[in-house]
Chain A
């Protein structure tokens, strides 16, 4: 088995409610796994557990064979990239400073950092003229590109994307989806993408994991989910989304 991340019977509760319940999940190397499901089903919680923003109540998560725990998390974070809905850029720092923050703290050499920035600008099609702007001086799409660059600065083994394009208008979103697919294919990047949009999941994901009420309901290709829905929820979720697309 070549999975980078393993979830084994992972549960996380807030009060009496399970956000995630007995989840078993593998994230394959070099692939983009799309985690999809209705709002509030526990998708973001899965990502937060990997980043160590939350700790699991029961069960175990392994990253590259190492258990995610308080002692290991700082080392593991260096090997992760994390992008959230509005990019999570720090408004008091320029785009460039947002990018250099992490590599500088990890004592990367300046010329190396500069080289990486130039590379990533090209890769993400971000104009280098925008590097000295503050986040508020950039468009929503540009901010997401910088957010993506920041996550990729240290060439992470796993890229975690939490609804990265949800707040963008359709045209910008489409361009970014296309560019992201190109980038990840080129880098052979392992990605876990959270989305509630089936079309996005179908377009970007090599594989889909469908969640409901804190549990993974079905895993597979979009065609499998369509042809052999595991239960009534899967059928409804897929037909509801198709119905919208057909409008």
Chain B
């Protein structure tokens, strides 16, 4: 059993017990940096009187509208059954969600049978029963299908398809000039572009990788001609697109289901299974369309219940922009601030050791340098499956911490190495011990360089922290990602502008700090 589960089942996890023993600061830090779960744990003490279960069920969703809406529907269904739920929206791709589900970071998320067979179990063409067995072996259960098939499809502008007389995917073979704009996931999938193009013998002159939502805009503007889509995408109707017929039956079935951990209470499992066969394709397209129009997934989910039950569980209250902004900025600063603090605490001693050169020094500089070359998104994705990490602020903080390390280590090392030999020797000749030399002479002399390194780290962290939202850690990346998903520039700017201002502000703050922390004698 891993730590998150233990804390959910009531008692303190071993690590938390240890931290508490270390005193108030540690507890406070842990509370600030710990996942929302720890905040919820506190809140649930007060709420437990009114709730059947004090431990919330965590629902994850992928970074696209339908996944958001289905997660909201599951959330509402569980709430109606009296279960405390939290939705962590838009946590990125299949791998991240799957690992989070297996690791217990989340308990439920919506998935598609085709993806499960192809991507997760690597058993293309597996039957429903085979899928269930394989999942069960990993502690995961699956509901019956929700009533619709959201398979992949290739779409085109209606006017162009009519003009060229294209109705099937096979018809594309004769039109190599058409520009394909495909999502990165589709390009890489085992049931995606590569096998599809082989099967249909397609060899278009241009294939670009484009974000899903941005791709629709590009298609509407004529920048691309063919794009991959989900057959229930609201945009297919909105942009007047046509779906090309899969005449060779290439695409597998993508029946929507909920995956959930077998540790889920039977009451919760019942509530989820009650949703099977309740949404058909037409209905899903309308819900998606509603969600994209109102930019409110909870409201779309409410519409689902409104038309089936005729009863609304709780009225949806939208959070004010000021509150949202405050929440994003606070979390953003927490992520960047705590990771920076860790980078300073660890980076400074490493920099001091590295400044002495030798094999160890080179190893330190080399290792921190290599970390810096890993793309930040890849680093996050690599950390998520590891036992201690998963989908949490903790993972984001560790990734940011690793990124922040290099500038601090390198600047500390070079700052110390740049101290002239006469000054070094004078300090030794005065009879100062190694520790006294470092504290009283060498670190102050290197302070300008060290502070410059810390400033670089801080600014990098503010920027990179926007990616934390991809693994559900919140911050100013939240509006950026949902804006990207909805192709809504205003929402993107709601995150991008504060993030840019924050970076400027941090830079300015450090310039002021320079005047306080760099000794006056060095600024003459």
Contacts and interface: CB of A to CB of B under 8 A. Distances in A.
A51 B441 CA distance: 19
A90 B436 contact: no
B10 interface: no
A74 B519 contact: no
A105 interface: yes
A90 B441 contact: yes
B430 A102 contact: yes
A90 B423 contact: yes
Contact of A102 (B425, B431, B522, B524): B431
Given A84-B422, A88-B422, A101-B440, A93 B428 contact: no
Nearest to A76: B431
Interface in A122-177: 134-137, 150
Contacts of A77: 428-431
15 contacts: A51-B425, A77-B429, A77-B430, A77-B431, A86-B422, A88-B425, A90-B423, A92-B445, A92-B519, A92-B522, A94-B521, A101-B440, A102-B431, A105-B432, A134-B524
A91 B519 CA distance: 9
Contact of A80 (B429, B432, B440, B444): B429
A92 B431 contact: no
> Which residue among B428, B431, B433, B436 has the maximum number of chain A CB atoms within 10 Å of its CB?
B431
A78 interface: yes
Given A51-B428, A74-B433, 20 more contacts: A51-B429, A52-B428, A53-B425, A53-B429, A77-B429, A77-B431, A85-B422, A88-B422, A88-B426, A89-B426, A90-B427, A90-B441, A90-B445, A91-B521, A93-B519, A93-B521, A101-B430, A101-B440, A105-B431, A134-B521
B425 to A, nearest CB: 5
Contacts of B427: 90
B260 to A, nearest CB: 62
B221 interface: no
B431 A74 contact: yes
Interface in B410-457: 422-423, 425-433, 436, 440-441, 444-445, 447
Which range contains the number of B residues in contact with the other chain?
20 to 34
A82 interface: yes
Across chains A and B, which 3 residue pairs bring their CB atoms closest together, nearest first? Answer: A88-B426, A134-B521, A92-B519
A86 B426 CA distance: 11
Nearest to A150: B430
A51 B430 CA distance: 9
B22 interface: no
B249 interface: no
A80 B436 CA distance: 18
B520 interface: yes
Given A77-B429, A77-B430, A92 B422 contact: no
Contacts of A102: 430-432
The residue in A48, A85, A88, A134 that gathers the most chain B C-beta atoms within 10 A of its C-beta is A88
B520 A134 contact: yes
Nearest to B524: A136
A78 B521 contact: no
Task: Indicate the member of B429, B440, B447 with the most A CB atoms within 10 Å.
Answer: B429
Given A92-B444, A102-B431, A84 B521 contact: no
